[in-house]
Structure 1
């Protein structure tokens, strides 16, 4: 494994981050690099700027997909090292640069150790952070015609010792959705608020009552978190009593069923509160991520791969609470995602000082390559 080369490649990606749906140059860099390893076929511009490299043995066998992500986040990087982001207010704060580099390392391994049967698909997916990328890929016949037998992915996880493999069967990441509630009343002179309809009390009531719908007990099937992420009322015009307000929340549940229950409860609650306060309202739902359900067979393969390499393995009791659109793949194909420990001192994901630790790249490449060996054994 060319660890120094992969480190430089990853750091080059880190310097030039691109937001979801705009990964044109990142995809171009990936496709150019993949050509060096002589895949059977490269597909570009998939569901936007997605890239696929197919390594085909031309002999009957299973088709295995390994997926990484291309997009960065709208976060200003605070790091000052030489490979810091060169784009203002955009940076790789989830480690997608590292995940993509791991697949490049797997491409190197496949060139040195050609497949004896079956085929391997390296999928570099756009727009994971917005929840749109997996959905778009699954609508592409260029992907679905490959008819994968298994799909695998990993995600680096700070707060775990470097190189630790973290997994669990069934729900690995939750169902997630965000929503915006717009409250519409009527402005009036601030001296005569009684002549208008101010959404202030309704906004206060909704925050309290919606938050009370959450169940923070991770051991329960109906677990949920509800985070208030944005609130706005009126404008900074002190002669005007507000006539409009806005509330945004993000909801997470272990199961799709519980998510639908909460969505209906929030709709009913909003309707009830707005009726009392004589307000009109609109609810918009967006950035939805399906729960990632790890297939038992795929989980067993991941566990065997970790233990055969003497990597520390943790069978996690509860799912992680962050969303992942890889869940859409596991709805359609047998597959699983696992966590890769990024270090106990590594800043948390989406923090402005986070950086993917290059010394865990080899663990990711080794895990993916071992998974292949176990499936094709």
Structure 2
């Protein structure tokens, strides 16, 4: 299983094509259709469509019993206007591949090219193009899909490109790799009043004023391997922009972030208790909603060792590096398989993910592909 120059040229061109047609989480219909078209040319043994919505699994089966190794990439883009000026810039206003998922898909396509020519000697390799990573809904939806039961892998492997890390150098550590996180919306409802007679209403001002600094006190730690807990207020609103009405409505939006799912459960309990006490003290109705719920991403030692052995064999430099506070819903696959994610350096001065001038470095495609191909070969023969 090896890549040719032709593979690299064609998958690079395909990456740039995907870059022109970004679709955000849950809307990846055309992207999925394009994945099926391109990957069918590699001659897989099966393609499963509609996983968890728009997900696609491309399967290369040896025909001999053995383990299953799944490599995962993401289909979705971001609701960001691209400010860079590549020839292949986004054609969709307000949407762009500013996280490199187009490059991750192209890396899997390169892997598929090699697997199409030479199957594993045993077991099967599964290339998963997962929907809705950016909002944290995709991996859970794929796993819950009844079609996934027949695909459940023994090992799940993935990558994310990482600006700030030297180009082509990998960070890979055991244990916590990405935080659990969720968006928490606290709504406080009272009763408006004339500003001259505020005592006739029920105002959320005191509760909001107490909760904004109070939630921040829940934050402790700075290192992902330790007891990192973060409650970050991202938005607050009270009433309407008028001087004649004392407010009867307030909102606080806060991001909760922890090293592990257990820590998240404890943080949720503390934040909800704090909100409940503040609302009760002011006689307010309390509603709490959650969005973009991500589980933790924890690298299994055996799965990580498979990637390390592959990098050693291919001459890719690596070190444990750091975990990242940003969330990544790949961690959900750790509940059904031994999983590990590596972080592939995009360059120390490369624009950061989600920046409007970010672009995936094409030269990472063959580096990522050869790591995954070697991991498959070492595991499945």
| Equivalent-residue separation in structure 2 for 1:330 and 1:73 (angstroms) | 25
Identify the range of structure 1 (32-41 vs 338-347) with the bigger mean alpha-carbon deviation.
338-347
1:40 matches 2:37: no
CA contact (8 A) 1:158 1:342 kept: yes
- C-alpha separation in 2, matches of 1:328 and 1:220: 19
SS of equivalent residue, structure 1 residue 163: coil
In the alignment, which residue of structure 2 is the partner of 1:269?
274
Distance 1:311 1:280 in 2: 57
Q: Deviations over 1:160-216 (max 9, x none)?
A: 111111111121111111110001111111222222222122112101000111103
Residue aligning to 2:155: 150
1:304 — aligned with what? 309
* Equivalent residue number for residue 86 of structure 1: 91
Equivalent position of 1:319 in the other structure:
323
Match of 2:367 in 1: 363
Residue 115 of structure 1 aligns to a residue whose secondary structure is coil
Which residue number corresponds to residue 334 of structure 1?
338
- Deviation, 1:28, is 0.5
1:195 is matched with 200
Cα distance between partner residues in 2 of 1:34 and 1:106: 10
TM-score, length-scaled by structure 1: 0.97
Long gaps (5+) in structure 1: none
Q: Secondary structure of 2:329's match?
A: coil
Deviation larger for 306-315 or 22-31: 306-315
Q: 1:122-133 residue pairs with structure 2 within 5 A?
A: 122-133=127-138
Distance of aligned partners of 1:306 and 1:220 in 2 relative to their CA distance in 1, 3 Å threshold: closer
In structure 1, what is the Cα distance between the partners aligned to 2:110 and 2:90? 22
| Mapping of residues 51-130 of structure 1, within 5 Å | 51-130=56-135
Count of equivalent residues: 376
- Cα 1:338–1:274 shift into 2, 3 Å: same
Query: For 1:99 and 1:31, how far apart are their aligned partners in 2?
Result: 15
What whole-Å deviation, never above 9, does each CA across 1:71-119 have from its counterpart, x for those lacking one?
1111111112221111111111111111111100100111233322211
After TM superposition, the structure 1 stretch with the greater mean CA deviation from structure 2, 250-259 or 26-35, is 250-259
Answer yes or no: is the 8 Å Cα contact 2:221–2:227 preserved in 1: no
Q: Give, in whole Å, the separation in 1 of the partners of 2:42 and 2:169.
A: 28
Bigger Cα displacement from structure 2, 224-233 vs 360-369: 224-233
